[in-house]
Amino acid sequence: MSDSGNQSCLMGAEDTVSFLVCVFHAVEEWAGLGQLEDYLSVLEYLLWVFTPLAVVFILPFLIVILIYLSILFLHVYKRKNQLREAYCNNLWDGARKTLATLWDGHGAIWHGYEIHGMEKIPDKGPALIVYYHGAIPIDYYYFLANVIIQKGRPCHSVADYFLFKVPGFKLLLEVFSVIHGPQEECVRALRNGHLLGISPGGVREALFSDETYPLLWGKRKGFAQVAIDAQVPIIPMFTQNLREGFRSLGTLRFFRWMYERFRLPVAPVYGGFPVKFRTFLGDPIPYDPNINAAELAEKVQQAVQSLIDQHQQIPGNILRALLERFHTTHKDH
């Protein structure tokens, strides 16, 4: 309404109500409130568009929060049991079993987690478990929890060096027997009769693999040499729909350049979708003194690839993986 229009409105008002209506319209135009509804509509649309995007990037951080809550629990547990530490050789067994129960519950509720072939994990004695690395290896956490619960024993793990630099992670890594991965230390763990889990693809596979599930092992054969030196079997492992649960933006050129140039795994991870997870353990590959590390590494890679080919539809599809939560039986693909 123009100034002249406002003046005529005010002058032409015959009663108090009409006068107040004119005043309201004049103030509304002066303050620009007439466009407020349009602004709110735009904001509502932007909120509708970007809320799902925000959620899929926030959920991975919730996993990190859960990890830190686990660390907090360990610190509390340690303080509570200070007096028992000098008398008990297995101080952390209770903590490990408690956290294993929590993680197993999370897997069952959020992903309907299943393990097929758990009988292939020995109740006693060493074995090397070789697995495909997801954007977040949450399936491996569930696997570790099930080993503790079902087999009554921990499984040592090999992790990238950067995890040892994350503030607060030291206690968690120590309690769950996570090592940086020098071959001598891996062989020592196996010779002492422990289970040991390793992903030859490591961080590179986590960041740069995608819904087509390529194995990014390069020419790595150190894990095979470890198995040969320790004379232990290798058990291949793969989790169905792992890339549909969490995905990485590592395929974007900038994040790949950051990793290749500075070894910084900064590619954002998004997801947290409650898709169906099924972990499959392949037949153990026994120790064979007649093959070398390169031959054994190739044999193991073929075994993991066979699990992928048998149990994963390529390319992976998030909607299909979500619908699989409603299926009560497993069908090989």
Q: What is the mean pLDDT of each run of 10 residues along the chain (333 residues)?
A: 50 55 61 56 71 75 82 69 53 84 89 96 97 96 95 94 88 93 94 98 95 96 97 98 95 90 89 95 97 97 98 95 77 45
Q: How many CA atoms lie within 13 A of 47 on its CB side?
A: 6
Check residue 117 and give left, alpha or beta (phi > 0: left; psi -120 to 50: alpha). Answer: left
Give all domains of the chain, ordered by start, each with its CATH number: 58-326 (3.40.1130)
Q: How many CA atoms lie within 13 A of 80 on its CB side?
A: 10
Residues 6+ apart with CB under 8 A from 60: 136, 246, 269, 270, 271, 272
- State the pLDDT at residue 83: 46
- Could you give the CA distance from residue 307 to residue 15 in angstroms, rounded to a whole number? 84
- Angle, nearest 10°, between helix axes 293-311 and 222-230? 110
- State the pLDDT at residue 63: 83
- State the pLDDT at residue 88: 60
- Could you give the CA distance from residue 183 to residue 223 in angstroms, rounded to a whole number? 8
DSSP 149: I
Q: How many CA atoms lie within 13 A of 75 on its CB side?
A: 10
Residues 6+ apart with CB under 8 A from 150: 118
- Angle, nearest 10°, between helix axes 222-230 and 183-191? 30
Q: How many CA atoms lie within 13 A of 96 on its CB side?
A: 23
From the DSSP assignment, how many helices (H) and strands (E) are in the chain?
Answer: 13, 9
- Could you give the CA distance from residue 200 to residue 302 in angstroms, rounded to a whole number? 13
- State the pLDDT at residue 8: 54
DSSP 153: S
pTM: 0.79
Selecting among 111, 133, 194, 311, the annotated active-site residue is 133
DSSP 156: E
Residue matched to tokens 């994040």: 255
- Residue 256, amino acid: R
- State the pLDDT at residue 31: 52
- Could you give the CA distance from residue 261 to residue 161 in angstroms, rounded to a whole number? 17
Residues 6+ apart with CB under 8 A from 207: 135, 248, 250, 255, 256, 259, 265, 267
Q: Is 194 considered catalytic here? A: no
- State the pLDDT at residue 74: 80
Cβ 145 vs Cβ 121: under 8 Å: no
- State the pLDDT at residue 277: 97
Check residue 122 and give left, alpha or beta (phi > 0: left; psi -120 to 50: alpha). Answer: beta
Residues in the chain: 333
Q: How many CA atoms lie within 13 A of 160 on its CB side?
A: 18
- Could you give the CA distance from residue 223 to residue 304 in angstroms, rounded to a whole number? 14
- State the pLDDT at residue 93: 84
Phi, psi of 153 (to 5 degrees): -145, 150
